[in-house]
Chains A and B, each alone.
Chain A
Amino acid sequence: MRRNAVPVALFAALVAVVAVLPAFLTDFRAQQFAYVGIYLIALIGLNVLTGYTGQMSLGHGAFMAVGGYTTAILMTDHGVRDLWTIPIAAVVAGIAGFLFGIPALRLTGLYLALATFAIAVSTPAVLKKFEGFTGGGSGKNLFGLKELTGGIGGVHILGWKLNFNNWLYYLCWTVALVSYVVAWLLLRGQTGRAFRAVRDSETAALSSGVSLARYKTLAFGVSAAYAGVAGSLFAIATTYVNPDTFPVQLSIFLLVGVVVGGLGSLTGLIAGAVFIEFLPLWAQDVSKSPGAPGVIYGVILIAVVFLLPTGAAGLLRRVATLVRGRVGSAP
């Protein structure tokens, strides 16, 4: 009980901040923070795989696409309400991830990065090819569908009226916080220990009786399920999917987000998610010359890897140690 008191208190504080934040934001900012919540979910998933189990993925955008298209197809062609498609998207993407995890067992390090990159690059072309199923290049527009809970008119919940942006915000963050807790529970238990053992030394893990195949595929499955949920919410929030909405850049940005947030940490990921959503916008504000946003983004990315080798989480830890040290040494 006592061991968990600090994280639980921190989490409660996080929940409180998340809950009241929209009161201090303009309506539109709430929507941008909804996307932060979506990216956070995807980053938690990717961190289970990359940060905790040591498997690099440059293809998580593809699993987001699986989730997003599951939602879009269920809503447009099968009349399923958006909220119910979220768990289905998790299951479908989770299975996809688990299945990909089986061949991926044979790959390590850079080779896994290349293989997952290949998946991310092929996804748009494959989505485009099966036009009857996916809507091809024109994609699927969810705006105005009756299956969409939120709309321009807003949403009524328990007597409160939420406008579209705030509805998205609370929806995404509720799911994100639940995902966060689930990941935390998963990672602090025996499964988490097994994941970390696989990451630290496969040979050592094997000799202490951890099944590599089981935990690696499990990590892939869990990770992809998270990406699926994020993709599903992405489709709901954007109200549109087409092959170009899940480009290879998305996969790259997700990996970048994990590195910025800090591998093997959950708290830092929020910084990673903020980075993904806002950095491109900031970069544009600095300069509008064609190409300039890319330069700024690239420079900041390299600078972050140089200056914060352990990501935002490492920075937090360092600050915490510093503060504790000061307090401790005070007379």
Chain B
Amino acid sequence: MKRAVTSAIVVALVVGASALAGSTQSTADPGVTPKSILLGGTVPLSGVASAYSAVAVGANAYFKYVNAKGGVNGRQINYKYLDDTYNPAQTIQLTRQLVEQDKVFAVFNTLGTETNLAIRPYLNQLKVPQLFAASGDTSFGADVATYPYTIGFFPSYQAEGWALGQYLKKSKPKARIAVIAQNDSYGRDLLVGLKRGLGGGSAKVVAAQNYEVTASDVGSQIAKLKSSGADTLAIFATPQFAIQSYVFANKLGWKPFVVTNAVSSASNIMLLASEGGQNKTVVGSVSVVFLKDPTDPKWSKDPAIILYRTIMAKYAKGANAKDVYHVYGMAVAYATVNLFKRLGKNPTRAGLIAAVDSMNIKDDPFLLPGIAIKTGPGDHFPLSQMYFQQYAKTGWKQFGSLVTYKG
């Protein structure tokens, strides 16, 4: 009996293995047909980070709009996004699926820092472009020598932190700054940037507290920061914890001057933080901005925002058009369409990366006027410009001239 089993196993293994020998590999770049280009990526559609999936919804809506007008060089751009629940192990499996089974031309707009870091070596070894990773981690732009097929999109977290540091150095030279930061590379990069921006000035970080994404609230941390005697609070958090930081500061009767980063300063978030106008700490906050805010009355007659609303209504039914993450999705999709136009009739992955190395897009309508998407060989930071904005009772007011970060 035993022998019979053993020989059955051997036979089966031989059969299985010989059946495999027949597979061959094609040499043409996958994902491109005469009529279409396939992009793919992962976003969290479920779980704690599902609010960010709007970046995929916005981008997808824009591609559909472009496709309805005939596509790019006669090709439709199809974008397949899968739910990785923000778990890098899922990101890896699904990205392999996109590359190996769905045969995408490029991985596009995958959301998150750890998730993008996890797939980066794989994509670069296979020479599959990792296009516009949705993370501000510095390494996506800085490691271009090791990972030439990877490029981020929005201003790096360090750049944001730096800009806020520069602002404080100039306009509040005596600031004693307390920082509440998420305990991961996101919070850390912002803090590093802030300190760099403060330079050798006399404005100083006097206290810093972390919170975990799994926390229920940040009440304890804010109380500690208040007791440090700081007069300025830097909030480097995700939206929910940013709102909480304002609310807890107010509850403690603490009225610091607040600076906050772009991810958590969307208008709808500030509106919540102001608690129906009762929270006075919110007014006067300073942040950075690079996208057009769909709720800002200033843009209500802007052609790009009118177009944005039309596209949302037609191609993203049910989604909340006030959510600025959708605008981000369209901004990044616009840049992608622009890239593919330049690739001409026969897009290749190598050609895409060559084009990525020399982007100079000055007319992305979803970005604030004057902000250019610019790269060069060895420079994979498409966006490094932003404006300051200050929160008035009615909403954000942009001020000052364009700030450019030189990493």
What separation, in Å, do the CA atoms of A281 and B87 have in the docked complex? 14
CB pair B15 A19 closer than 8 Å: yes
Partner among B46, B97, B117, B122 whose Cβ is within 8 Å of the Cβ of A291? B46
Does B68 make an interface contact (CB < 8 A)?
A: no
Does B28 make an interface contact (CB < 8 A)?
A: no
Partner among B9, B19, B101 whose Cβ is within 8 Å of the Cβ of A23? B19
- Which residues 46-105 in B have Cβ within 8 Å of A in the complex? 46, 50, 53, 81-83, 85-89, 92-93, 96-97, 100-101
Give 1 or 0 for each of B1-44: 1 = CB within 8 Å of chain A CB: 10011001101110111011101000000000000000000000
Give 1 or 0 for each of A128-164: 1 = CB within 8 Å of chain B CB: 1000000001110101100000001000000011110
Partner among B89, B101, B121 whose Cβ is within 8 Å of the Cβ of A143? B121
> Least Cβ distance of A146 to chain B in Å?
13
- Which residues 278-302 in A have Cβ within 8 Å of B in the complex? 280, 284, 288-294
Give 1 or 0 for each of A30-48: 1 = CB within 8 Å of chain B CB: 0110010000000000000
Does A16 make an interface contact (CB < 8 A)?
A: yes
What separation, in Å, do the CA atoms of A138 and B85 have in the docked complex? 17
What separation, in Å, do the CA atoms of A124 and B214 have in the docked complex? 10
Residues of A with C-beta under 8 A to B122? 143, 152, 239
CB pair B97 A28 closer than 8 Å: yes
What separation, in Å, do the CA atoms of A58 and B321 have in the docked complex? 40
CB pair A290 B5 closer than 8 Å: no
> Least Cβ distance of B187 to chain A in Å?
10
> Which of A85-93, A103-111, A241-249, A261-269 binds B?
A241-249
How many chain A residues touch B (Cβ–Cβ < 8 Å)?
55
Q: Say whether, besides A138-B185, A162-B20, A20 and B92 are in contact (CB < 8 Å).
A: no
Does A11 make an interface contact (CB < 8 A)?
A: yes
Residues of B with C-beta under 8 A to A20? 12, 15-16, 19
CB pair A290 B53 closer than 8 Å: yes
CB pair B126 A152 closer than 8 Å: yes
> Least Cβ distance of B166 to chain A in Å?
28
B-side interface mostly: helix
Q: Say whether, besides A138-B185, A141-B118, A245-B87, A288 and B15 are in contact (CB < 8 Å).
A: no
CB pair B83 A239 closer than 8 Å: no
Give 1 or 0 for each of B290-330: 1 = CB within 8 Å of chain A CB: 00000000000000000000000000001000000000000
What separation, in Å, do the CA atoms of A292 and B86 have in the docked complex? 16
CB pair A143 B114 closer than 8 Å: no
Q: Say whether, besides A141-B117, A242-B114, A284-B45, A23 and B20 are in contact (CB < 8 Å).
A: yes
CB pair B85 A249 closer than 8 Å: yes
> Least Cβ distance of A32 to chain B in Å?
8
What separation, in Å, do the CA atoms of A138 and B183 have in the docked complex? 12
Residue of B nearest to A144 (CB): B121
CB pair A8 B5 closer than 8 Å: yes
What separation, in Å, do the CA atoms of A312 and B88 have in the docked complex? 30
Partner among A35, A139, A161, A162 whose Cβ is within 8 Å of the Cβ of B118? A139
Does B212 make an interface contact (CB < 8 A)?
A: yes
Does B171 make an interface contact (CB < 8 A)?
A: no
Does B125 make an interface contact (CB < 8 A)?
A: yes
Does B275 make an interface contact (CB < 8 A)?
A: no
Residues of A with C-beta under 8 A to B93? 31-32, 35, 238
Q: Say whether, besides A27-B100, A138-B185, A293-B46, A242 and B118 are in contact (CB < 8 Å).
A: yes
Residue of A nearest to B6 (CB): A12
Does B143 make an interface contact (CB < 8 A)?
A: no
Residues of A with C-beta under 8 A to B9? 12, 15-16, 19
Residues of A with C-beta under 8 A to B16? 19-23
Residues of B with C-beta under 8 A to A293? 45-46, 83
Closest 7 CB pairs of A and B: A23-B19, A19-B12, A245-B89, A28-B101, A16-B12, A143-B121, A28-B100
* 29 A-B residue pairings within 8 Å (CB atoms): A1-B1, A5-B1, A15-B9, A15-B12, A19-B9, A19-B12, A19-B16, A22-B16, A23-B15, A23-B16, A23-B19, A23-B20, A32-B97, A124-B214, A143-B122, A160-B17, A161-B21, A163-B20, A165-B100, A166-B20, A238-B93, A240-B92, A244-B114, A247-B87, A284-B82, A289-B45, A289-B318, A292-B45, A294-B46
